Chains A and B, each alone.
Chain A
Amino acid sequence: GENVEQHPSTLSVQEGDSAVIKCTYSDSASNYFPWYKQELGKGPQLIIDIRSNVGEKKDQRIAVTLNKTAKHFSLHITETQPEDSAVYFCAASFTGNQFYFGTGTSLTVIP
């Protein structure tokens, strides 16, 4: 089955700096790659996603890039703010009902 690896497991950045979280996947059939933000005590919330026919997608300060050849995708957060502090999960999916999640990255934005 699919295997999704996520790095780093923890990340600290100064407010205003950029943060990058990387994920790799093993199954070339995967074609949908969502990113989730999980705040303390809450469920994961979808923040951005990308499908395999697109190389990059942006939504304000958040962007995701996908390299299908290398089988990796990344989340980029620019101009980080303290409210960006959370755990971020990547996922890969290649069928309608199978989502494979990374182990999460705990992001801390230092004011």
Chain B
Amino acid sequence: NAGVTQTPKFQVLKTGQSMTLQCAQDMNHNSMYWYRQDPGMGLRLIYYSASEGTTDKGEVPNGYNVSRLNKREFSLRLESAAPSQTSVYFCASSAETVSGNTIYFGEGSWLTVV
């Protein structure tokens, strides 16, 4: 019953450093997402992938890149971290059903850029 697993849980970066957040789901979902969560702003979509091999920008894609490595894995990369990218990041995946999609979240990755 792992669901959506993301690593690392916590990370501190210096401005300009790069890092990759890893995400994997074991529910055989086609769609995967990366969101960031900031106080008072809810969940904002960074990138999503509707299927293996495809990715699309969300609401706040600047400063990020993603890779849909296979059906299970969807990674988020910060090439040159900035303090404005200090946030909590959530990976998610969604199940397609006859009546629509339901989205499931991972436990989150707390990133601080100093």
* Residue A97 CB within 8 A of the other chain: yes
* Residue A51 CB within 8 A of the other chain: yes
Residues from chain A with Cβ under 8 Å of B45 in the complex: 98-99
* Residue A12 CB within 8 A of the other chain: no
* Residue A18 CB within 8 A of the other chain: no
B50 to A: closest C-beta gap in Å = 5
With A and B bound together, what is the CA distance between A45 and B102 in angstroms? 11
Q: A31-B100, A96-B50 are in contact. Are A101 and B42 (CB under 8 A)?
A: yes
* Residue A89 CB within 8 A of the other chain: yes
With A and B bound together, what is the CA distance between A51 and B101 in angstroms? 11
Instruction: Pick the contact of B101: A6, A43, A89, A93 (CB < 8 A).
Output: A93
10 closest cross-chain pairs (CB), A and B: A43-B105, A103-B42, A101-B43, A101-B42, A32-B100, A43-B107, A44-B105, A96-B101, A43-B108, A97-B50
Of the A-B pairs whose beta carbons lie under 8 Å apart in the complex, a sample of 24, sorted by A's number, is: A6-B42, A9-B40, A31-B100, A34-B102, A34-B103, A36-B105, A43-B4, A43-B106, A43-B107, A43-B108, A44-B90, A46-B104, A51-B99, A89-B42, A91-B103, A93-B100, A96-B94, A96-B100, A97-B31, A97-B50, A99-B103, A101-B42, A101-B44, A104-B42
- Contacts beyond the supplied A32-B101, A96-B96, A102-B42: 20 A-B pairs with Cβ under 8 Å: A32-B99, A36-B105, A43-B4, A43-B90, A43-B106, A43-B107, A43-B108, A45-B105, A46-B104, A91-B103, A96-B31, A96-B50, A96-B100, A97-B31, A99-B33, A99-B45, A99-B101, A101-B43, A103-B41, A104-B42
